[in-house]
Structure 1
Amino acid sequence: MTIHVPPVSLAERVRSVRSPGGIEAWLFEDHALPILSASIGFRGGAALDPPGKAGTALLMARLLTEGAGLLDSEGFGRALADDAIRLSFGLERDGLRARLRTQSSTVDRAFALLRLAVNEPHFAPAPLARVRAAATAGVRQSLADAGRTAHLAFFARGFAGHAYASPAAGDLASLEAIDGADVVALHRRMLTRTGLLVAVVGAIGPEALAGLLDKAFADLPEGEAAATPPVALAGLGEREVVRLDVPNAAIVLGRPGIRLDDPDFTASQVVNHCFGGGTFTARLMREVREKRGLCYAIGSGLDAAAAACTLRISTSVANARVGETLAVVADEVARLASDGIGPDELEAAKSAMIGAYGLNFDTSVSIAELLLTLQVQGRGRDWLDARNRRIAAITTEDAARAIGRLFGDGAMLTTIAGDPPAGADA
């Protein structure tokens, strides 16, 4: 089977733009439609929450469009709506992302509002109270969510003592402890020129974009790099059960993964696709769902965070079948380690991964998000072309080496949220 990698260069469509003020961005210029999409990132994210005040970054992100400059919360929202500008901020574990979408005719106004949001947010008491109340309600509602509970327990044990152990959304106690000064201080620390990354897609040229970059970001403080200390997943071989009165138990299992900058990372992606990342074609779906009917869905993924990469498996099963499910997963890990991945399965996985890559280029929004993600990961623009070539080049020997590094002795950290029978989780 020959895998076809399209010869068209995507990297050639992306250019680096540097403004007179020294702000850099990646630009994918496209004048097919009179619209512009931008994805803006600031390094740091929830990992910068102060000790005991998890959720600070989340509140800050939600407050950035709740009044800025001369506009109060209602006025800022009306200014966006009047020109059909879409601006939102989303929190991630290692960063903050802004997503901006506007028509070419309103691009100046859109970047002016973006400038206000990142440079002059109010963080006023009333919006802070409202946003805190909404976050608290969300946490209360999630207390009976088995999936979220299992994941929180996994991170708390696996990364104990590290910033990754704290919930990005906070908890009831931490949200109550956050005050306006905490939000202001975190904003000052995170939203800096040093931590800024920008990707723009649409109907704009380099010169016009350069002016807009200075308009939005030139007044940001220089700041310092927000580095999260590296950490490795702990607790391998341990199982923890959080008792919840729910009909189905959520299960999360994991091991340390292979980091993004490691030569074996691409091979580990292909291995993961075969094992649990390829939906219905994956071994876990076939063995756990299709053959035994133990669950509706099960999957695995490589969580390549800034400070750690983790291979994580998750599913939800009837409480009475937790033990059986864990046994099947363990058997599949052992079979993968002993038998490896054959040529046909490997080629099918590579073909699927290469074919699916084109879905990242269906809209200006998705292209902007991909370009920003590559910057966050430390990839160059050449990765747009190199990615598929590297996948196509993976051999059975590469896969075998990645399997050994990913699964080792098979020991995993396992967290379960539910009410399995005594001994079923042992």
Structure 2
Amino acid sequence: MTRMLALIALVFSAAMARAEVDIQQVESPGGFKAWLVEEPQIPFVALELSFKGGASLDAPGKRGAINLMTALLEDGSGDMDAQTFTEATESLAASFDYDVGDDTLTISARVLSENRDEAIALLRQSIIEPRFDADAIERVRAQIISGIRSDQRDPDAIASATWDKMVFGDHPYGSNSDGTVESVSALSRDDLIAAHSATLAKDRVYIAAAGDITAEELSSLMDTLLSDLPDTGAPLPQDVDVKTEGGITVVPFDTPQSVAIFGHEGIARDDPDFFPAYVMNVVLGGGGFEARLMNEVREKRGLTYGVYSYLATKDHANLYVGRVASANDRIAEATQVIGDVWADVAQNGVTQDELDRAKTYLTGGYPLRFDGNGRIAGILVGMQLEGLEPEYVNTRNAMIEAVTLDDVKRVASEILKPEALHFVVVGQPDGLETTVGN
């Protein structure tokens, strides 16, 4: 199966490189909508389902229920226990993956054309008729609790948890979607059933497919797969108005190297200035070894092995954040340099050479994302979730190329906020202490 999938990915990516991506919009009699990239030469279909809301839909006091529920979808359904379901999946050479994040619950399926009907029936069973057997619940619960306890000893996880609580407070984003030891330990089977109906519903599903399937076949498949879901799920959470104060929050932790998260408010994906901001970030911290932060913090001063920044566009909040790790006796200098670079780009923008290299980086790598059915289906769903139109895949590079030096300078001065740049540092940093609290 692995060798065949590799060949399929190679053939498909070669086909995609020869022509523009042709996205069909499909609607089923039952009202489900999907995007499809059809490739009949390859006997393989990738299907992607994303349910908006994700772990943010946990009921009050039930943190971790949706995460636990999602992990159990492949642990038995219908008249099959976990082992029987796994054996049936393997016998069809199918692959199902269930994952949940802050904003989406995603189900990915990879099936052979010859087994498509049987594989989709099995997938439907896992989505519509999960068993939530007592032994499976306890086994998966124990795995999740073990992971939570491990995170309590992980500086990176501690930094993330501290940052999220500081920025998001009581919003679902402000706590770990895995839950706590106490909240996960208290979850009942009824809680998982409630989490299932709250999350997997018709009114929030986004669908994409790529490979050997026609629009008519996909239309029928969607109704077969999803018609028995509840019509509506739980209400989505409120938006968060992100506010930070410039300064440092130190979390003492016994480790030779400090870990830091830094950032402030960001920019929405649908903002007209998103592309200039996106290109600007490649120059600042998102362009690998070519980025300013890497050059100043690593190459010139040897303060870290890696530092980066990115635009974090969530459904209910927008941030501009980054990460760095450095020895305890050097992290203070690293944070100072990061702040200086942040302020310099905010005030002066970037150079024409930096802009040109950023455009080449972004446009040259884009076609490589379409390197197989699965990645294409994932991209199509992601585009729908972001409110993009199908033609985006064929116009995106032109929008990158249209960004000017003046655009970047103007946007950098607006979205980079050195006075609001806050660092959460976990470790034993020499010369650093908490200077402001949020």
With the shorter chain as reference, the TM-score category is: over 0.9
Contact kept, 8 Å, 1:195 with 1:225, in 2: the verdict is no
Structure 1, 222-231 or 336-345: larger mean CA deviation: 222-231
- Look up the equivalent residue of 1:138 and give its one-letter code: G
Q: Deviations over 1:230-264 (max 9, x none)?
A: 11223322422221111111100011111011101
Deviation beyond 6 Å, 4+ runs, structure 1? 6-9
Partner of 2:253: 244
What pairs up with 1:163-182 in 2 under 5 angstroms? 163-182=172-191
DSSP 3-state at the match of 2:203: coil
Partner of 2:13: none
Distance 2:65 2:20 in 1: 38
Structure 1, 337-346 or 155-164: larger mean CA deviation: 337-346
Question: How far 1:421 moved relative to its partner?
Answer: 2.5
Say if 2:308 is the partner of 1:290: no
Question: How far 1:337 moved relative to its partner?
Answer: 1.7
Contact kept, 8 Å, 1:30 with 1:204, in 2: the verdict is yes
DSSP 3-state at the match of 1:398: helix
Distance 2:301 2:65 in 1: 44
Say if 2:75 is the partner of 1:66: yes
Say if 2:376 is the partner of 1:367: yes
Residue identity (%)? 34
Say if 2:221 is the partner of 1:221: no
Partner of 1:144: 153
Do the aligned partners of residues 358 and 7 (structure 1) sit closer, same or farther apart at CA in structure 2, a change above 3 Å counting?
A: closer
DSSP 3-state at the match of 1:37: strand
Question: How far 1:51 moved relative to its partner?
Answer: 2.5
Contact kept, 8 Å, 1:323 with 1:425, in 2: the verdict is no
Do the aligned partners of residues 173 and 224 (structure 1) sit closer, same or farther apart at CA in structure 2, a change above 3 Å counting?
A: closer
DSSP 3-state at the match of 2:223: helix
Say if 2:37 is the partner of 1:25: no
Structure 1, 151-160 or 221-230: larger mean CA deviation: 221-230
Q: Deviations over 1:374-424 (max 9, x none)?
A: 111111112112221111111112111221222134322221111113546
Distance 2:182 2:256 in 1: 28
Structure 1, 44-53 or 318-327: larger mean CA deviation: 44-53
Partner of 1:10: 20
TM-score after normalising by structure 1: 0.95
Do the aligned partners of residues 300 and 17 (structure 1) sit closer, same or farther apart at CA in structure 2, a change above 3 Å counting?
A: same
2:48 alignment partner, one of 30, 39, 55: 39
Structure 1, 179-188 or 168-177: larger mean CA deviation: 168-177
- Look up the equivalent residue of 2:375 and give its one-letter code: S
Question: How far 1:10 moved relative to its partner?
Answer: 3.4
Structure 1, 175-184 or 98-107: larger mean CA deviation: 175-184
Do the aligned partners of residues 215 and 7 (structure 1) sit closer, same or farther apart at CA in structure 2, a change above 3 Å counting?
A: closer
1:355 alignment partner, one of 353, 360, 364: 364
DSSP 3-state at the match of 2:324: strand
Distance 2:242 2:263 in 1: 8
Question: How far 1:7 moved relative to its partner?
Answer: 11
DSSP 3-state at the match of 1:197: strand
What pairs up with 1:50-129 in 2 under 5 angstroms? 50-129=59-138
Contact kept, 8 Å, 1:18 with 1:210, in 2: the verdict is yes
1:265 alignment partner, one of 268, 271, 274: 274
- Look up the equivalent residue of 2:48 and give its one-letter code: S
Distance 2:430 2:93 in 1: 54
Partner of 2:329: 320
Question: How far 1:90 moved relative to its partner?
Answer: 0.5
DSSP 3-state at the match of 1:100: strand
Partner of 2:346: 337
- Look up the equivalent residue of 2:20 and give its one-letter code: L
Do the aligned partners of residues 10 and 179 (structure 1) sit closer, same or farther apart at CA in structure 2, a change above 3 Å counting?
A: farther
Q: Flag structure 2 segments of 5+ consecutive residues without an equivalent.
A: 1-15
Partner of 2:58: 49
Structure 1, 217-226 or 89-98: larger mean CA deviation: 217-226
DSSP 3-state at the match of 1:233: coil
- Look up the equivalent residue of 2:369 and give its one-letter code: N
1:253 alignment partner, one of 262, 267, 276: 262
Q: Flag structure 1 segments of 5+ consecutive residues without an equivalent.
A: 1-5
Contact kept, 8 Å, 2:198 with 2:234, in 1: the verdict is no
Structure 1, 416-425 or 284-293: larger mean CA deviation: 416-425
Contact kept, 8 Å, 1:340 with 1:400, in 2: the verdict is yes
- Look up the equivalent residue of 2:278 and give its one-letter code: Q
RMSD: 1.7
Q: Deviations over 1:248-305 (max 9, x none)?
A: 1110001111101110111110011000000000000000011111111110011111
- Look up the equivalent residue of 2:312 and give its one-letter code: D
DSSP 3-state at the match of 1:345: helix
Contact kept, 8 Å, 2:255 with 2:428, in 1: the verdict is yes
Partner of 1:3: none
Aligned length: 420
- Look up the equivalent residue of 2:81 and give its one-letter code: D
- Look up the equivalent residue of 1:10 and give its one-letter code: E
Question: How far 1:176 moved relative to its partner?
Answer: 1.4
Distance 1:142 1:157 in 2: 18
2:164 alignment partner, one of 155, 165, 183: 155
DSSP 3-state at the match of 2:77: coil
- Look up the equivalent residue of 1:19 and give its one-letter code: S
Partner of 1:376: 385
Partner of 1:392: 401
Contact kept, 8 Å, 1:271 with 1:403, in 2: the verdict is yes
Contact kept, 8 Å, 1:255 with 1:406, in 2: the verdict is no
Contact kept, 8 Å, 1:38 with 1:100, in 2: the verdict is yes
Contact kept, 8 Å, 1:43 with 1:95, in 2: the verdict is yes
